[in-house]
Every structure is written in structure tokens, then in C-alpha cells.
């Protein structure tokens, strides 16, 4: 759910001549490499395409095809909802353009980086090891993970206006949430999705609207049935109860 547009800058510090280049010979291979890059939170992907190009009428059509490859990679069924929702902006650029090959650079920006993911996965695994046990039912296990998110995160906004990119990223930063920073529903939901996946449950991230605007929450499958989980709203209810002294 991307309701903003940012210009992606292509830093000049690394060129295709200096970078690790992936050589492919088909457009399907481009999508496969992009899908793998997204799963591994790779930010700069350099592809040397040496396949047939007779199907393209001009450079503009080629650019559109390159963009479409990234869109299709984002929606590949091998990626989890967490992987997709972790992307915040993308860009593509033809850096070398000859009759017999193309040099393509993709830039993908994430809410949480590859380095962040090591922390997130470690904390998720620790929570699963300490909060759930084999003798618990599925409902009890999921409730324990839900309570853990509520115990760990607290709601908070940092973006001052629609152009405040730093604030927007901060309030969606799972690692920040783990360290006590306020975060919004995006971080709550993605972390819950990571916990559910690590615990072995099929799950989805749902985007929609409430009376307060755009919102995201989770769905989890238990014995063939799908259930909604909203950790953000659950945390808000808990906070209201605590503040009222109930």
C-alpha cells in the first residue's frame, strides 16, 4: 500500500563495472533474480541481459518491460507478505544499451534492511522459544505471540507531514519498535507476520481502512480456518484500559 511517490536516486559511487553483475538470457531470469534479491533484502541489483530483444520496438518499450519485471517479481508467489510489505520504494535504470545486450540497474529500498532482519529473526525466534511450548494448542500459541507483541511494542507516530520520509520510516521500523520506539500498524503487523511464519503458521497481511484511515492487520490459518488478528488495535484497547484504571 504505497500512497506516496519518491524519487529513487542512483548513487554514483558504484558502477556496473565495479559491482557484482548477474548475467541472464531471458526476461524470466530477470524476474527470478529480482525475486531472490527481494527475499534477501538486496538493495542494488545489476543485471546484464544478453537475450533476444527483437520483440521490443524501441527503448521506451524496453524501459516499461524492465519496470514490469520488477512488479511481477514483487508479486511472485514464493515471496511472503512480509517480504512484499517490507519494500517501500523501487526504481530501475538502463545503464548500458547496445544492440546485443542491456545493462540494467535496479534499486530497492526497504523499511528494514538486511542487517535489521538478523535482529528481527533472532528476536522472533527467542520469543517463540520462550513464549510457546509444544503442549499448547494452536490458539494458545498464537495468543502468546499476540501478547508478546503487545508487551513489546507501543504505538507512536513520527512523521510530521507527507514529505517527512525519515519520520515515515522511523514509525515503520520493527527494530525501533523492539528498542522501545513508537511504531504504527505497519510495524506491528509485519512483526506479527514474521512471528507467525517462524512458528509455522500460514498467514497473510491485510490492508484496508478504518474510521481513522488506512490500516493493516494479520490473518492466520488454524485447522483450515482463517482468523483476523489486529495487534495494533489490541494494544490501543489495552492502553485505554490501563489509563482508565479498569
Predicted pLDDT at 20: 80
How far is it, in rounded angstroms, from Cα 158 to Cα 182? Answer: 8
Q: Say what the pLDDT of residue 241 is.
A: 29
138: left (phi over 0), alpha (psi -120 to 50) or beta: alpha
Whole-number pLDDT of residue 210: 81
Question: Residue 148 has what pLDDT?
Answer: 97
213-222 and 225-229: which strand pairing?
antiparallel
pLDDT of residue 54: 63
Please report the pLDDT score of residue 19 as a whole number. 58
- Put residue 58 in one of left, alpha, beta given phi > 0 → left and psi -120 to 50 → alpha: beta
- Tell me what pLDDT residue 57 has: 61
pLDDT of 12: 43
Q: What is the model's pLDDT at position 52?
A: 75
User: pLDDT at position 15, please?
Assistant: 53
- pLDDT value of position 102: 85
Low-confidence ranges of the chain (pLDDT < 50): 1-14, 18, 237-246
The three-class DSSP label of residue 129 is: helix
Report pLDDT for 201.
Answer: 97
Map grid coordinates 533474480 to a residue. Answer: 33
pLDDT of residue 244: 28
The number of angstroms, rounded, from the C-alpha of 175 to the middle of its chain's C-alpha atoms is: 13
Predicted pLDDT at 27: 87
What is the predicted pLDDT for the residue at 207? 93
**pLDDT for 125:** 98
Collect contacts of 27-34 with beta carbons under 8 A, ≥24 apart. Answer: 27/51, 27/65, 27/69, 30/66, 30/69, 30/104, 31/69, 31/72, 31/73, 31/76, 32/73, 34/69, 34/70, 34/73, 34/106
Residue listed under C-alpha cell 484511515 = 213
Handedness of CA 200, 131, 204, 190 (dihedral sign): negative
Are the C-beta atoms of 214 and 1 separated by less than 8 Å? yes
Amino acid at each position: 500500500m504505497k500512497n506516496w511517490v519518491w524519487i529513487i536516486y542512483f548513487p554514483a559511487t558504484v558502477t556496473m563495472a565495479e559491482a557484482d553483475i548477474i548475467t541472464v538470457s531471458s526476461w524470466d531470469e530477470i524476474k527470478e533474480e529480482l525475486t531472490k534479491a527481494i527475499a534477501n533484502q538486496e538493495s542494488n541489483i545489476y543485471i546484464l541481459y544478453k537475450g533476444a530483444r527483437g520483440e521490443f520496438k524501441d527503448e521506451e518499450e524496453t524501459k516499461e518491460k524492465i519496470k514490469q519485471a520488477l512488479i511481477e517479481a514483487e508479486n511472485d508467489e514464493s515471496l511472503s507478505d512480509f517480504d512484499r510489505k517490507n519494500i517501500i520504494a523501487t526504481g530501475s535504470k538502463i545503464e548500458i544499451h547496445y544492440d546485443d545486450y542491456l545493462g540494467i540497474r535496479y534499486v530497492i529500498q526497504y523499511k528494514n534492511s538486511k542487517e535489521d532482519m538478523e535482529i528481527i529473526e533472532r528476536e522472533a525466534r527467542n520469543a517463540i522459544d520462550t513464549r510457546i511450548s509444544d503442549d499448547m494448542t494452536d490458539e494458545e500459541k498464537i495468543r502468546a505471540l499476540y501478547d508478546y507483541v503487545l508487551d513489546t511494542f507501543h504505538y507512536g507516530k513520527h512523521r510530521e507531514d507527507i514529505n517527512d520520509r525519515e519520520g515515515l520510516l522511523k514509525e515503520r521500523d520493527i527494530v525501533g519498535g523492539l528498542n522501545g520506539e513508537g511504531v504504527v500498524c505497519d510495524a506491528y503487523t509485519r512483526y506479527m507476520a514474521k512471528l507467525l511464519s517462524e512458528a509455522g503458521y500460514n498467514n497473510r497481511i491485510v490492508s484496508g481502512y478504518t474510521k481513522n484511515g488506512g490500516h493493516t492487520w494479520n490473518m492466520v490459518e488454524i485447522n483450515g480456518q482463517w482468523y483476523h488478528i489486529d495487534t495494533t488495535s489490541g494494544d490501543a484497547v489495552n492502553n485505554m484500559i490501563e489509563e482508565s484504571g479498569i
